[in-house]
Amino acid sequence: MAQEVHAERALKQHSIWQNGHPPEPCAVVIFGATGDLTQRKLLPTLAHLFHDHPLPQAFSIVAFARRPLTDEQWRSMALESINKYLPEDDKLDSAAQKDFAQRMFYCQSDFNDREGFQKLADLLDKLDREKDTHGNRLYYLATPPTTDSEIIHQLGEAGLARPRQVNDDEESWVRIVIEKPFGRDLASAQKLNRELARVFRENQIYRIDHYMGKETVQNILAFRFANGIFEPLWNQKYIDHVQILVAESLGIGTRAEYYEESGAIRDMVQNHIMQVLCLTCMEAPVAFDADAIRDEKVKVMRAIPLFSPEDVANRTVRGQYTAGVINGQPQIGYKEEKGVAPNSTTETYVALKLFIENWRWADVPFYIRTGKALPKRSTEVTIQFKRVPHQLYKPSETTGLVPNRLTIRIQPDEGMSLKFAAKVPGAARNLCDVDMNFSYTSAFGIESPDAYERLIADCRGPPEADELIERDGRQWDNP
């Protein structure tokens, strides 16, 4: 049993620490630390990394937010979220919780308050001295995109953006993480890039999409380019259409301020879904590195024509969720959510049909759907192949038969399945659909690492460990 546990942890570590490098000592500063993203994702992820992997002792978390809290109040709030959102098997015992809590500190300030950022600088200096964090700092902006510019400006004004000379042989590192959506359109993304460039060097900037950390998303490239049997069929000659579904069973929760500005299109389509679309449709890169993969993804985005007013009318559907029941629990309507305008026209559901105008995908429709407060949480890509050119079997023998389908399940049950026809046992020649199924959990014996674990580990590791992190903010660029 001990050997099995050791093997499981070794596999987890191998999948998270790229190139075998554990992360270096640092202070992680979370802006917007009392928000939904921090409570549901970042804190549980950091707690799990701390508990299950060899993080250094010199590791601290600084929460930066507007709400007036003491260190102890923040620690209590953070542990409550960690206990609520960590899976049962990953819960921290009381000793680990106490140890983790003592590494957390709170800094209260508005994002435009110069004194607040000076207070942050003083606290980080203190942690360098007392916790030996070596001057290494990772800033994570878990905030609405509208606040990014002010935070970046204040970090620069407070002198918090530049590395320091720790000793004669060592310089600290400083990195900033901005999670997509990056801006709200092409103009704002370009403006934000200019503001970042005034304060940070390009190699300090990590523009991330957490979907890129999901095992099945990463496996799309392996599935396509490490196997010889699928890529020859991966084109308009054999594929009838492609569906990408991102369905969420939750409403907007406490994110009304952000969601009213973004809606489903900016929140999901232009970042997560576009990333998955690009990996599904791109040509083989010249190498498996960030620049080469990004080059091919950009080619896909540039091959998607802009929608005309007629296209918007005929090939898109927008909607909002209303009050109902989901999984036995009551769900209020979007306009009844706290912080949502009673006359809001922000979409919480969108469906659209688009095309990629290149040789591989000419005339193949792509159907994209995403929404909140839907009956089931599910993210998947479905490749539907064309029917055989001539059916040898009689209609009575193929009743109910569907075309071949490959489904790539991204969440919650990560894996893939291939639907194809097979003969039913017996004297008759009747056919039926059967599935060939691959599940990550069944195949490897462990749950796949959380997407945020992989991405946070990449950001804290050495600069070369960032194949899955975007650096150029091109998601809006669709000329």
DSSP letter for 238, please. Answer: T
351 residue type, one letter? A
Contacts of 198 (CB under 8 A, 6+ apart): 156
Instruction: Give the integer Cα–Cα distance in Å for 346 and 258.
Output: 11
Catalytic residues: 272
Q: How far is CA 380 from CA 70, 231, 257, 449, in A?
A: 42, 19, 28, 18
Q: Locate tokens 């250094």: which residue?
A: 56
Instruction: Give the integer Cα–Cα distance in Å for 260 and 341.
Output: 8
Rounded to a whole number of angstroms, the CA Rg of the chain reads 24
Instruction: Give the integer Cα–Cα distance in Å for 284 and 435.
Output: 28
Cα angle, residue 270 at apex, residues 266 and 276 outer, rounded to 5°: 135
Instruction: Give the integer Cα–Cα distance in Å for 136 and 207.
Output: 19
Instruction: Give the integer Cα–Cα distance in Å for 383 and 230.
Output: 11
Burial class (CB in 10 A: 0-12, 13-18, 19+), 408: buried
179 residue type, one letter? E
Which phi and psi (to 5°) does residue 435 adopt?
-120, 135
Q: Which of 457, 438, 381 is nearest to 26 (CA)?
A: 457
Instruction: Give the integer Cα–Cα distance in Å for 290 and 267.
Output: 23
Q: Tell me the β-bridge partners of 27.
A: 60, 137
**Tokens of residue 400, six digits:** 């109910």
Q: Answer for the pair 31, 141: CB distance below 8 angstroms, yes or no.
A: yes
